[in-house]
Amino acid sequence: LKKYHFPGNVRELQYALERAVIMADSNLLTEDDLVFSPIEKKATVKPIEDVNLDEVEKQTIQKVIEKNKGNISKSAKELGITRTALYRRMNKHGL
C-alpha cells in the first residue's frame, strides 16, 4: 500500500480493500489480492479510430495472464470474471 500512489481518493482505497477481501483465497490478504485502478501503470492508448474491441479484449487477457504467470484463477479474479468465462474468451481469441 505504501508503494502505490493514490491518484484517486479514499473511495478508491476502500473499493480496493473491499474487492481484495471478497476475492481473497484465504483470511490473510497478500499483495496479489490488492488490485488497483488501471491508472497504476501508464498504458499506451491507440487513437479511437484504430480501436477494435475484440483486439483490446485479447490483449488485456494476454497481459493479465502473463502478469499472473499463467495462473488462470488469479487472472480471472483480476479481470472480474469466472474461470469458465475466461476460458471461453481465451478460446474465442485462440489463446
pLDDT > 70 fraction of the chain, expressed in percent and rounded: 75
Q: How confident is the model at residue 84 (pLDDT cuts 50, 70, 90)?
A: very high
Query: Can you give the residue range of the structural domain that contains 60?
Result: 44-95
Residues 48 and 90 in one domain: yes
Q: Which amino acid appears at position 82 of this protein?
A: T
pTM (2 d.p.): 0.50
Q: Indicate whether 32 and 49 sit together in one domain.
A: no
Averaged pLDDT for residues 39-66: 73
Which is more confident, 37 or 21? Answer: 21
Pair 51, 87 in one domain: yes
Number of separate domains in the chain: 2
Mean pLDDT of all residues in 35-55: 62
To the nearest 10°, report the CA torsion of 50, 53, 70, 79: 130
Q: In the structure, what pLDDT confidence band is assigned to residue 31 with cuts at 50, 70 and 90?
A: confident
